[in-house]
Amino acid sequence: MTYDPRFGPAAQTPQQRAYVLRQLQQTFPQLAARVPALTQQLFDRYVAGELTWSDVRHALDAATSPAPKAPVRRGA
């Protein structure tokens, strides 16, 4: 197994990442509460090694943050 620096030393294999995700869900119950399909897909991709946890958080934040407001134009 080649070390992947995108994941911590305790999250190199899918089994390790699944364990890390379970630990996070126990620490932060809102991560385990009936999650939408998009969230579950992101978790699955993290466990598979396709996404880092930072990627998951950025995607979740982008999906849940309100759309940015257009800047107000003042007279020219």
Instruction: Write the pLDDT tens digit of every residue in 30-42.
Output: 888 888 999 999 9
Whether 66 shows a pLDDT value over 60: the answer reads yes
Residue showing tokens 């126990």: 26
Written as six digits, the tokens of 45 are 């991709």
Contacts of 1 (CB under 8 A, 6+ apart): 12, 13
Whether 68 shows a pLDDT value over 80: the answer reads no
What value does the mean pLDDT of the chain take? Answer: 89
> CA 8, CA 44: separation in Å to the nearest integer?
17
The pTM (predicted TM-score) of the whole model is 0.78
Q: What percentage of the chain carries pLDDT values higher than 70?
A: 92
In this prediction, residues 10-18 reach a mean pLDDT of: 96
How many CB atoms neighbour CB 58 within 10 A?
Answer: 13
> CA 76, CA 68: separation in Å to the nearest integer?
23
